[in-house]
């Protein structure tokens, strides 16, 4: 573990670009940051500066309150959108380094904002912003952005049925340009109106805002839980106007208004309409308006829970027909109701008659039941008498044309005995299993239901606490991790079984590595106006492999043979050059060859100045400043003329070529000498750095929570409970047994801890989302 922390510190130190500025060359503007034993914030930091040259001072010393020897960095962010990226500053300091923890660097600042942070793993909360102005009043301040959650809440604070998230932003400078949000770890999308969340479960909404000047606010977050609720939503209702229209769009002779209503909750109870403000009346079928003139029909609907829709309206004009109507209306009938297997209607049948006339319009509709007298049809006809029935029907239009008589025949039977017994339901899990009982690659859940009375109407299931959905075929689960499937069944009489549950684990199948590494190269060095490199160019090749890992990296220069790449390739021969490169992983997969081309030109003047060279010792230190288990020496050199050709070091014997950070694990006192030579042959004076390595001590978390996975309040997230550094696991940092002001404070704590672990490369974004959702589902912090 200590060697891992040393390697992380070495990688951070390898990025350091530190120039010690003589007092005579310092800019008048001095900006100072300080740090102490804390890992949540810098002890002090400037908030504003003026564009132009500045001396950066970073002090992490005994004088600023660092008594443990803890290292910190001052790193400027060069990738996050919304910030300036033109200053590559990365200073590492501790009270026992060669400078006593006080370092300086000369930079040139541009108007705008810089984001700075500490890059040491576990120090992710040490972050801030520096606002740089140009004296002209430009906007460099990000918007302020807030969010609120509203809705009907229960006694536990959960939102019944739905929650609405409203995001607000303000900017006194250039004004707010855009607001964005994401729901439950999804991609950021534009915020244009309050976000309605009606999916049952725990949720998180992150949000941010950008002003017209391009300043981006820090991300905010709200979390909440939606639970099921009674029907509080009014029906949706609409109307259409049909009829024969002339060229102006007016209806010739008549217009028919058809109103439709839907309610996904308790169902539509009634529909009403009124014509030309004459008072609402029940809507039983399409309404035909024949009076010539302008008309407006209003309509509304009420559901079984008493929710009333907003009143809608349609406007239209009826004009006199241009020719005599001699065509009878079209009329049809449909029988509806609950049918048995033979097609007979159980207990009652409803006959709905529909008529239309495109010329003079429908004037009346009539029906007769089982040979009785004709009657006016004003609403669907309900027939409850047991036996065979015949309904005849006809329609008359405004011109007096009568349709042919239509007929429908049907039977009504007694209802079957009432079924009060719910179905029986069960489930089995199948698939290939490993030695631990986990299913390899995927598991198949098959649900079976039976009802000997009214029969099974439907089967539902949910996966891992999600919403219940209809079960139509066996459920294939191939996501790696622990799972639960709940299931239930409902019969045709409406009886619902109790919920059943099966739990199982899916393990990832072995994966063969057939993917070659990814390899890129970057050319660096001083360039002239044409882009040519002055004196020399340095080619840095980087390879990564997500499978078995990178085995070798090779390159060739100007068509020569391929050779092993061990460090940046310095090319100082004047002329045009090409460097080809490739990488091979441990499975033997070799990448395609890449190539970079560039030109080296003579420097403008002879270089007679030796390089500047510096060394930094990093690693985990004890209270005396000694390095625990091992120390890493990182040597950097700079030459502003011909460029650095070689760096050498000695640990007591002969000089050796320096190709990367040196890790020394032998206990005792050590002295490393170092020097550098530039392309012109100038050699720097040898310098030394002395330090002590001692045997490792105890971990910071002696009673560490070493459970295999991250578990919050008994909820197993399936995320590996890895050591995050200093002997502390993810569960240790989550600290579920600590005291919190409320549940929201605990969720915010987990959100911040996991954000830092993602930034440090300990967790993935998917791991973070699973952990924060488990925190939101927990009862930690609730009264």
What tens digit of pLDDT does each residue of 418-436 get? 889 999 999 999 999 998 9
Burial tier of 451 (Cβ tally within 10 Å: 0-12, 13-18, 19+): buried
- Say if residue 279 is in the same domain as residue 217: no
Residues 750 and 773 both lie in one domain: yes
* CA atoms lying within 13 Å on the CB side of residue 700: 17
Nearest partner of 271 among 312, 230, 231, judged by Cα: 312
Q: Which of 143, 131, 151 is nearest to 191 (CA)?
A: 143
Question: Is the per-residue pLDDT at 111 higher than 90?
Answer: no
Task: Using alpha carbons only, give the angle 88, 43, 215 rounded to the nearest 5 degrees.
Answer: 50
Residue 505 lies in a domain: no
On whether residue 255 sits in a domain, the answer given is yes
pLDDT in tens, 333-363: 999 999 988 899 999 999 999 999 988 889 9
Instruction: Say which residue, 121 or 404, is predicted with more confidence.
Output: 404
703 vs 682, higher pLDDT: 682
- Quick count: other Cβ atoms within 10 Å of Cβ 375? 11
- The rounded distance, in Å, linking the Cα atoms of 182 and 188 is 5
Tell me, yes or no, whether 279 and 199 share the same domain.
Answer: no
Segment holding 755, helix H or strand E: helix 743-759
Coil, helix or strand at residue 687: strand
**Strand ranges (DSSP E) for 398-480?**
406-413, 424-430, 439-440, 443-450, 456-463, 469-470, 475-477
Three-state secondary-structure class, residue 680: coil
Band (135; pLDDT cuts 50, 70, 90): low
- Spatial neighbors of 1 by CB under 8 A, at least 6 apart, are 699, 723, 725, 727
Tokens of 256: 């028919």
Taking only the tens place, the pLDDT of each residue in 454-471 is 899 999 999 999 999 999
User: What mean pLDDT do residues 279-298 have?
Assistant: 95
What integer is the mean pLDDT of 26-46?
88
- Which DSSP helix (H) or strand (E) runs through 733? helix 730-734
Are 476 and 550 members of one domain? no
Cβ proximity of 381 and 350 under 8 Å: yes
DSSP three-state, residue 413 = strand
What band does 366 get if pLDDT is binned at 50, 70 and 90?
very high
Summarised one tens digit per residue, pLDDT across range 70-101 is 999 999 999 998 899 999 999 999 998 999 99
How many Cα atoms are found within 13 Å in the side-chain-facing hemisphere of 335? Answer: 22
Task: Find all residues with CB under 8 Å of 566, minimum gap 6, and list them.
Answer: 659
pLDDT for the residue numbered 700: 59
Residue with the larger pLDDT of the pair 671 and 247: 671
Same domain, 243 and 199: no
715: its two tokens: 């909820």
Read off the pLDDT band of 5 (50, 70, 90): very low
Number of domains in the chain: 8
Instruction: Give the domain range for residue 393.
Output: 330-413
User: Do 14 and 128 fall into the same domain?
Assistant: yes
User: Can you state the angle between helices 765-777 and 743-759, rounded to 10 degrees?
Assistant: 170
d(CA 546, CA 548): 7
Residue 9: pLDDT above 60?
A: no
Mean pLDDT, the chain, integer: 89
Q: What pLDDT shows up at residue 2?
A: 40
Is pLDDT larger for residue 266 or for residue 722?
722
pLDDT value at 394 more than 70: yes
Mean pLDDT of 41-55: 92
Give the CA angle between residues 568, 570, 576 to the nearest 5°. Answer: 125
pLDDT digit string (tens) for 583-610? 999 989 999 999 999 999 987 677 789 9
C-alpha–C-alpha distance, residues 357 and 249, integer Å: 17
Closest CA to 711 of 645, 758, 778: 778
Q: Establish if 493 belongs to a structural domain.
A: no
Q: What is the pLDDT of residue 512?
A: 81
What pLDDT is attached to residue 619? 76
Pairing of strands 687-694, 627-628: parallel
Domain final residue, candidates 564, 582, 601: 601
CATH of the domain at 590: 2.60.40.10
Residues 44 and 125 in one domain: yes
Give the span between the Cα atoms of 503 and 484, in whole angstroms. 4
C-beta separation of 142 from 56 below 8 A: no
DSSP assignment string, 231-251: --PPPEEEEEEES-B-TTS-E
| pLDDT value of position 27 | 43
DSSP state of 277: T
CA-to-CA distance for 632 and 620, rounded, in angstroms?
A: 10
Q: Is there a domain that residue 73 lies in?
A: yes
Do the beta carbons of residue 350 and residue 389 sit within 8 Å? no
Top-ranked range on mean pLDDT: pick from 261-265, 320-324, 685-689: 685-689
Residues 558 and 577: beta-carbon distance below 8 Å: yes
| Residue 503: inside a domain | no
Give the integer Cα–Cα distance in Å for 25 and 27. Answer: 7
Q: How far apart are CA 439 and CA 502, in angstroms?
A: 13
Q: Tell me the C-alpha distance between 566 and 645, whole Å.
A: 15
pLDDT at 63 over 70: yes
Buried b (16+ CB within 10 A) or exposed e, 695-705: eeeebebeebb
User: Given this model, what pLDDT does residue 721 score?
Assistant: 92
Taking the CA atoms of residue 399, residue 401, residue 403 and residue 404 in that order, the dihedral angle to the nearest 10 degrees is: 180
CA distances from 737 to 224, 711, 740 (A): 21, 12, 9
Q: Within a domain: residue 751?
A: yes
Predicted confidence at residue 479, as pLDDT, reads 93
Running DSSP on this structure, what letter comes out for residue 298? E
DSSP-based helix, strand, coil % in the chain, nearest 5: 5, 45, 45
List, for residues 697-711, the tens digit of each pLDDT value: 555 566 788 899 999
Angle at 711 between CA 709 and CA 716, to 5 degrees: 80
Q: What is the pLDDT of residue 38?
A: 92
Give dist(CA 29, CA 105) in Å, integer: 12
For residue 368, what are the β-bridge partners?
392
Rounded CA-CA distance 472/384 in Å is 35
Nearest to 389 by CA among 409, 374, 373: 409
Q: Tell me the two tokens of residue 576.
A: 């045009």
Backbone angles phi, psi at 58, to 5 degrees: -125, 120
Looking at residue 509, the DSSP 8-state letter turns out to be P
φ, ψ for residue 758, nearest 5 deg: -65, -45
The reply to whether 119 and 37 lie within a common domain is: yes
The answer to whether residue 607 is domain-embedded is no
Q: C-alpha angle with apex 754: 750 to 756, nearest 5 degrees?
A: 120
Same domain, 10 and 127: yes
Query: Which residues fall within 8 angstroms of residue 652, CB to CB, at 6 or more apart?
Result: 671
Output the 3-class SS for 528-579.
Answer: CCCCCEECCEEEEEEEECCCCCEEEEEEEECCCCCEECCCCEEECCCEEEEE
Nearest in space to 442 (alpha carbons), one of 478, 475, 473, 474? 478
Q: Assess whether 42 and 117 both reside in one domain.
A: yes
Between residues 726 and 54, which one has the greater pLDDT? 54
- 481 with 375, same domain: the answer is no
pLDDT band at 25 (very low <50, low <70, confident <90, very high): very low
- The most distant pair of C-alpha atoms in the chain lies apart, rounded to whole Å, by 122
CA–CA gap between residue 415 and residue 346 (Å, rounded): 5
DSSP H/E element including 403: none
Lowest mean pLDDT among 46-55, 360-369, 467-476, 719-728: 719-728
Residue 22 in contact with residue 105, Cβ under 8 Å?
Answer: no
Q: Which of 732, 725, 694, 630 is nearest to 5 (CA)?
A: 725
Contact between 91 and 74 (Cβ < 8 Å): yes
Last residue of a domain, one of 133, 160, 186: 133
Out of 111, 133, 155, pick the residue that ends a domain.
Answer: 133
Q: Cα separation of 440 and 506, whole Å? A: 6
Q: Is residue 403 part of a domain?
A: yes
Statement: residue 23 has pLDDT above 60: no
Are the C-beta atoms of 721 and 730 separated by less than 8 Å?
yes
CB under 8 Å to 733, separation ≥6 — which residues? Answer: 724, 753, 757
Greater confidence (191 vs 135) lies with 191
- Tell me, yes or no, whether 86 and 19 share the same domain: yes
pLDDT digits (tens, 9 = 90+) for 726-743: 678 899 888 888 888 888
């Amino acid at each position: 573990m200590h060697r891992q922390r040393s390697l992380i510190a070495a990688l951070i130190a390898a990025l350091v670009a530190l120039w010690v500025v003589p007092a005579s060359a310092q800019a008048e503007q001095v900006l100072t940051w300080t740090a102490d034993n804390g890992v949540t914030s810098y002890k002090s930091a400037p908030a504003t500066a003026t564009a132009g040259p500045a001396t950066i001072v970073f002090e992490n010393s005994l004088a600023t309150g660092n008594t443990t020897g803890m290292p910190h960095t001052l790193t400027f962010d060069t990738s996050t959108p919304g910030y300036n990226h033109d200053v590559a500053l990365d200073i590492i300091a501790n009270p026992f380094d060669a400078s006593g923890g006080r370092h300086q660097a000369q930079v040139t600042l541009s108007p705008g904002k810089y984001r700075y942070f500490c890059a040491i793993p576990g120090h992710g909360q040490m972050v801030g912003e520096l606002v740089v102005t140009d004296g002209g009043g430009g906007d460099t301040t990000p918007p302020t952005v807030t969010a609120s959650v509203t809705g009907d809440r229960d006694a536990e604070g959960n939102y019944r049925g739905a929650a609405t998230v409203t995001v607000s932003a303000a900017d006194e400078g250039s004004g707010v340009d855009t607001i964005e949000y994401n729901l439950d770890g999804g991609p950021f999308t534009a915020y244009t109106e309050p976000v309605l969340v009606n999916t049952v479960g725990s949720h998180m909404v992150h949000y941010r805002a950008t002003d017209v000047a391009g300043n981006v606010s820090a991300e905010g977050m709200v979390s909440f839980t939606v639970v099921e609720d009674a029907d509080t939503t009014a029906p949706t209702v609409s109307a259409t106007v049909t009829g024969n229209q002339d060229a102006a769009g007016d209806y010739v002779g008549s217009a028919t208004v058809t109103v439709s209503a839907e309610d996904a909750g308790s169902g539509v109870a009634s529909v009403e309409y009124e014509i030309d403000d004459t008072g609402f009346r029940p809507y039983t079928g399409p309404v035909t308006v024949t009076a010539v003139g302008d008309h407006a029909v209003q309509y509304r609907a009420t559901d079984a829970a008493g929710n009333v829709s907003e009143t809608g309206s349609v406007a239209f004009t009826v004009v006199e027909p241009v020719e005599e109507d001699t065509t009878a209306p079209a009329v049809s009938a449909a029988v509806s109701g609950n049918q048995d297997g033979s097609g007979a209607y159980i207990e009652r049948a409803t006959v709905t008659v529909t008529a239309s006339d495109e010329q003079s319009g429908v004037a009346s509709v009539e029906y007769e039941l089982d040979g009785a007298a004709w009657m006016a049809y004003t609403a669907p006809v309900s027939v409850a008498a047991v036996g065979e029935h015949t309904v005849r029907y006809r329609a008359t239009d405004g011109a007096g044309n009568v349709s042919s008589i239509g007929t429908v025949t049907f039977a009504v039977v007694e209802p079957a005995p009432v079924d009060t017994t719910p179905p029986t339901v069960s489930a089995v899990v199948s698939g290939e299993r490993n030695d631990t009982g986990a299913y390899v690659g995927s598991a198949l859940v098959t649900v079976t239901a039976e009802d000997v009375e009214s029969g099974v109407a439907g089967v539902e299931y949910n996966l891992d606490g999600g919403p219940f959905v209809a079960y139509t075929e066996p459920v294939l689960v191939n996501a790696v991790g622990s799972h639960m499937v709940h299931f239930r069944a409902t019969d045709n009489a409406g009886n619902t079984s109790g919920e059943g549950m099966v739990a199982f684990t899916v393990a990832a199948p072995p994966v063969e590595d057939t993917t070659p590494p990814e390899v890129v190269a970057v050319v660096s060095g001083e360039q002239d106006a044409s882009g040519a490199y002055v004196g020399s160019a340095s080619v840095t090749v980087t390879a990564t492999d997500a499978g078995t890992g990178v085995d070798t990296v090779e390159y060739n220069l100007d068509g020569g043979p391929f050779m092993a790449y061990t460090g940046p390739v310095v090319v100082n021969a004047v002329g045009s050059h090409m460097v080809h490169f490739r990488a091979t992983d441990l499975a033997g997969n070799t990448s395609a060859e890449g190539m970079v081309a560039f030109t080296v030109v003579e420097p403008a003047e002879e270089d007679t100045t030796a390089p500047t060279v510096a060394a930094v010792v990093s690693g985990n230190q004890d209270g005396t400043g000694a390095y625990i288990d091992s120390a890493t020496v990182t040597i950097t050199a700079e030459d502003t003329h011909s460029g650095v050709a070689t760096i050498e070091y000695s640990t007591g014997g002969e000089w050796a070529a320096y190709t990367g950070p040196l890790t020394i694990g032998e206990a005792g006192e050590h002295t490393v000498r170092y020097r550098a030579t530039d392309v012109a042959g100038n050699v720097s004076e040898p310098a030394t750095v002395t330090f002590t390595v001692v045997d490792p001590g105890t971990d910071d978390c002696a009673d560490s929570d070493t459970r295999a996975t991250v578990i919050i309040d008994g909820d197993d997230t399936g995320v590996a409970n890895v050591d995050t550094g200093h002997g502390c696991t993810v569960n240790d940092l989550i600290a579920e047994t600590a005291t919190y002001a409320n549940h929201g404070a605990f969720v915010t704590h987990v959100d911040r801890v996991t954000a830092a672990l993602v930034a440090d490369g300990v967790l993935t974004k998917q791991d973070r989302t699973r952990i924060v959702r488990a925190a939101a589902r927990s009862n930690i912090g609730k009264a």
